[in-house]
Homo-oligomer: A and B are copies of this chain.
């Protein structure tokens, strides 16, 4: 966990309200960044509006930089999204647990695939599993399928980057309005896959309604999976208790009935989360 001042290396506008930023960071931060971990970012201007830092998934990282995808939905994301190259940000991270390592223990059958499910901005977190791959490989003989749903075709982001970086990846996309060819929800794609590969391992990130659906689908197929949550956070390191999520009474994530998403998550076994 590092507190640092980073510089915006580049800021690409992908859609009307989505930005793709590369930011400098200490080497140690980059080394500790693992798929599914996140960073708290704020503008480094000494002013108090916005007050708190905002959490973003670390989508990719190099030796001394990392990348985030920012959707401008309010004051904080708007301010960060509009930062010019060369501007400074205050960063804090990497935080959270990240996705589990995909080893044989996690997968019940080695031939069954790893299914990554991304809804909307959930791609930022999910993409880290693929983009980090060339540095810290997932189990090499693990086939991977990316199921990616968005509202419209132009919100299906970074597909080129992801394909380029991930050999042996199958990508299926779907959009709410059908503009990508297939119309519907990403959980329909998940059902299709699980029907064929019921012993798969699933990682999912996206809006809460989607995660609820993913949870139900996984439950129906009695198959294992992990959900990455995006609860509101004030601190990001376990002290404000603002981000807690109800959890099933027993299990490996905390003894009690709730867990701090920032430190015990954001990635939880799908069957533990109580929405």
Contact in complex: B46, A47 (CB < 8 Å): no
What is the bound-complex CA distance between A78 and B47, given in angstroms? 10
Q: Is A164 an interface residue (CB 8 A)?
A: no
**Bound state CA distance, A47 and B51, in angstroms?**
11
Chain B residues contacting A49 (CB-CB under 8 Å) are 47-49
The 7 closest A-B pairs by CB, nearest first: A49-B49, A47-B49, A48-B49, A84-B84, A47-B75, A47-B79, A45-B79
User: Does A256 interact with chain B (Cβ within 8 Å)?
Assistant: no
Among residues of B, the one whose C-beta sits closest to the C-beta of A87 is B84
A50 interface residue (CB < 8 Å to B): yes
A47 contact set on B, CB distance < 8 A: 47, 49-50, 75, 79
Q: How far, in whole Å, are A176 and B147 apart by their CA atoms in the complex?
A: 71
Expressed in whole angstroms, the minimum distance between the Cβ of A90 and any Cβ of chain B is 15
A to B CB contacts below 8 Å, 11 in the list: A45-B79, A46-B75, A46-B78, A47-B47, A47-B49, A47-B50, A47-B75, A47-B79, A48-B49, A49-B49, A84-B84
CB distance from A17 to the nearest CB of B (A): 15
Distance from A43 Cβ to chain B, minimum over Cβ atoms (Å): 9
Please, which residue of chain B has its CB at the minimum distance from the CB of A84? B84
| Distance (whole angstroms) from the CB of A204 to the closest CB of chain B | 34
Q: How far is it, in angstroms, between the C-alpha of A45 and the C-alpha of B45 when the chains are bound?
A: 13
Give A75 to B46 CA distance when docked, in angstroms: 8
Instruction: Kindly identify, within residues 59 to 89 of chain A, every residue whose CB is under 8 Å from any CB belonging to chain B.
Output: 75, 78-79, 84
Residue of B nearest to A86 (CB): B84
With a cutoff of 8 Å between Cβ atoms, the chain B residues found around residue A46 in the complex are: 75, 78
CB distance from A88 to the nearest CB of B (A): 11
Please report the C-alpha to C-alpha distance between residue A49 and residue B47 in the assembled complex, in whole angstroms.
6
Cα A47 to Cα B74 in complex, Å, equals: 11
Nearest CB in chain B to that of A50: its residue: B47
Chain B residue numbers with a CB within 8 Å of A45 are: 79
Bound-state CA distance A50–B49 (Å) is 8
Query: Whole-angstrom distance from the CB of A81 to the nearest CB of chain B?
Result: 12
Q: Which residue from chain B places its CB closest to the CB of A49 in the assembled complex?
A: B49
User: Please, which residues of chain B bring their CB within 8 A of the CB of A48?
Assistant: 49
